[in-house]
């Protein structure tokens, strides 16, 4: 019996090497370029598709419209980051605000840092893309001297909520909002934009791999 790697498979007598583990692919972060805004906008639809099929769909539609149509506005007033695999394919993005007041609608205290529009390509979930983007925002919050970073999400966005829980974000329900106030829509279930906070004071900034726009290193 000839030897072959245990992870290999055979199909009709042909050796098929194992699929590459996406965790082995190099992930880099950098500020988004203007010519990538359409690419970023195209991530939101597929990322939200798995949450459809409930009475919250009208709010989800309004939220998606805001995410897609607001890509350029966020890019102009925030630090919009992209995550790339092997320095080429955009698989995620997030908009960091040095002050949540710059978001325009947030009711979180002015002076807190924040982020929104965190998105990960569904094909790249589970390999640390979302965590890397959130860690970048936490690091930038410390860089700009913010004591707290605050965000809003929704309880049905389970991937995001689970990530925030794992990373140590704490609920602050006193800043919860009715989603329809932010994303007006007719009909549909009442959805709450739930608030989280992360205390930045006293924490060291972790290592980051962030390149300049256009760089693939």
Q: What's the sign of the alpha-carbon dihedral 159, 191, 41, 172?
A: negative
Q: Is the pLDDT of residue 76 over 70?
A: yes
Are the C-beta atoms of 130 and 120 separated by less than 8 Å?
yes
pLDDT band at 11; cut points 50, 70, 90 = very low
Query: Does 128 reside within a domain?
Result: yes
Residue 96 falls within a domain, yes or no?
Answer: yes
Which pLDDT band holds residue 9 (cuts at 50, 70, 90)?
A: very low
Tell me whether residue 113 is in a domain.
yes
150-159: average pLDDT: 91
25: left (phi over 0), alpha (psi -120 to 50) or beta: beta
Domain hosting 85: range is 22-208
The overall longest dimension of the chain from CA atoms, in Å, is 69
Find the angle CA(58)-CA(64)-CA(68) to the nearest 5 degrees.
150
Q: What does each C-alpha distance from 12 to 3, 4, 5, 55, 175 come to in angstroms? A: 17, 15, 17, 48, 60
CB 139 within 8 A of CB 206: yes
* Domain assignment present for 14: no
Question: Contact, 164 vs 196, CB < 8 A?
Answer: yes
Q: What is the CATH number of the domain that holds 185?
A: 3.40.630.30
Per-residue pLDDT at 26: 86
CB 30 within 8 A of CB 213: yes
6 inside domain: no
* Residue 164 falls inside a structural domain: yes
Domain count, the chain: 1
Share of residues in the chain with pLDDT > 90 (%): 63
172 band by pLDDT with thresholds 50, 70 and 90 = very high
Q: Output 8 or 44, whichever has higher pLDDT.
A: 44
Q: Report residue 64's pLDDT band, with 50, 70 and 90 as the boundaries.
A: very high
Task: Establish if 9 belongs to a structural domain.
Answer: no
Residue 13 lies in a domain: no
Cβ(81)–Cβ(94) below 8 Å: yes
* Residue owning tokens 């962030």: 210
In a 3-state reduction of DSSP, which class is residue 144?
A: coil
For residue 64, CA distances in Å to 38, 61, 130, 216 come to: 14, 5, 18, 30
| Mean pLDDT, range 148-159, rounded to an integer | 92
Nearest to 7 by CA among 20, 24, 25, 22: 20
Tens-digit pLDDT profile for residues 82-100: 999 876 799 999 999 999 9
Identify the three-state secondary structure at position 181. helix
Of 15-29, 94-108, 116-130, 190-204, minimum mean pLDDT range: 15-29
For residue 19, with 0-12 CB atoms within 10 Å meaning exposed, 13-18 middle and 19 or more buried, which class applies? exposed
């Amino acid at each position: 019996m000839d030897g072959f790697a245990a992870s290999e498979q055979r199909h009709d007598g042909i050796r098929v090497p194992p699929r590459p583990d996406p965790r082995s692919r190099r992930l880099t972060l950098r500020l988004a370029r203007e010519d990538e805004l359409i690419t970023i906008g195209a991530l939101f639809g597929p990322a939200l598709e798995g949450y459809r099929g409930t009475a919250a769909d009208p709010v989800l539609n309004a939220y998606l419209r805001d995410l897609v149509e607001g890509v350029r506005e966020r890019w102009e007033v925030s630090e919009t980051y992209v995550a790339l695999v092997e320095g080429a394919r955009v698989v995620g993005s997030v908009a960091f605000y040095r002050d949540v007041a710059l978001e325009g609608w947030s009711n979180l205290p002015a002076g807190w840092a924040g982020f929104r529009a965190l998105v990960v390509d569904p094909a790249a979930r589970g390999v640390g893309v979302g965590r890397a983007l959130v860690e970048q925002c936490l690091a930038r919050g410390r860089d700009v001297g913010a004591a707290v970073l605050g965000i809003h999400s929704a309880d049905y966005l389970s991937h995001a909520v689970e990530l925030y829980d794992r990373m140590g974000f704490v609920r602050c329900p006193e800043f919860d909002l009715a989603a329809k106030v932010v994303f007006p829509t007719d009909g549909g279930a009442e959805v709450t934009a739930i608030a989280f906070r992360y205390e930045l004071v006293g924490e060291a900034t972790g290592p980051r791999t962030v390149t300049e726009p256009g760089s693939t290193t």
